Amino acid sequence: MAIRNLRYEGDEILKKKSREVDVIDEKIQTLIDDMIETMHKYNGVGLAAVQVGVLKRVVVIDLYDDNGPIVLINPVIIKTKGEQEVDEGCLSFPNKFAKVVRPEEVVAEFTNREGKRIRVKAKELLAQAIMHETDHLNGELFVDKIVPGTLEYVEPEK
């Protein structure tokens, strides 16, 4: 396992659409392990493969509950319900936070790392994370969706 280099604001790759994963091989498993380790190092809730420079439809999410990290390969949003205004940040935009309107509930379908297709109904933070990371796979960034006037920069602690 290894910490991967994050891609940051202004990097063109973040605007590109990621490609479907055809086969879950050793390379994809290594990518997943590295992504989880990288996300944890930077205290992130989610990470998309594009954020470490890999244009594959792979996402990892960890709500730091008893369930451990969730791996979503080729995720698809089936439906959304309601809306919530949430505070959001992104590992590719360090120390920047803003309000974004996201669905309250999301039904998503994805393949897990064992190759099984799963459907999940997510609420609140998990719904928000799934939407945020799926946006990344489509080349969409949270800073393009913020509620006007809510973007703030928080000085990192020394």
Could you report the per-residue pLDDT of 54-110, keeping only the tens digit for each? 999 999 999 999 989 999 999 999 999 999 999 999 999 999 999 999 999 999 999
Q: Own/partner pairs for 105-109, CB < 8 Å, 24+ apart?
A: 105/80, 105/81, 106/77, 106/79, 106/80, 106/81, 106/130, 106/131, 107/77, 107/78, 107/79, 107/80, 108/72, 108/75, 108/76, 108/77, 108/78, 108/134, 109/75, 109/76, 109/78
- Catalytic annotation present for 88: no
pLDDT at 124: 93
Could you report the per-residue pLDDT of 46-62, keeping only the tens digit for each? 999 999 999 999 999 99
Candidate list 26, 83, 114, 133, residue with the active-site label: 133
What are the boundaries of each domain within the chain?
12-153
pLDDT at 156: 80
Could you report the per-residue pLDDT of 118-138, keeping only the tens digit for each? 999 999 999 999 999 999 999
pLDDT at 150 over 90: yes
pLDDT at 158: 72
pLDDT confidence band for 1 (50 / 70 / 90):
confident
Query: CATH top-level class for 12-153?
Result: alpha beta
Q: Average pLDDT in the 36-42 region?
A: 97
d(CA 19, CA 14): 13
Q: Which of 129, 113, 104, 105 is nearest to 46 (CA)?
A: 129
pLDDT confidence band for 25 (50 / 70 / 90):
very high
pLDDT at 77: 98
